Amino acid sequence: MYFVIYKSSNNQYYFVIKGANHEVVATSETYILKSSAKKTIESIKNSINPDSTVIDVSD
């Protein structure tokens, strides 16, 4: 499982969770601040799999 952070067309951030087969498992709500999206990812990672990778393609 891994997370990918994106920037939407309205300049907000969201992330998707992808499984080992690279299919989208879940999509987050949008966040005004990238740091808010990252905090949510960290919370999920700590609950499920702390070794999950985060890929940031928002830049």
pLDDT in single tens digits along all 59 residues of the chain: 999 999 999 999 999 999 999 999 999 999 999 999 999 999 999 998 888 999 999 98
Q: What distance in Å separates the CA atoms of residue 32 and residue 22, rounded to the nearest whole number?
A: 26
Cα 18 from chain centroid (whole Å): 9
pTM of the full predicted structure?
A: 0.88
The single-letter DSSP state of residue 33 is S
Superfamily of domain 1-45: YegP-like (3.30.160.160)
Residue burial 32-44, b: 16+ Cβ < 10 Å; e: rest: eebeebbebbeeb
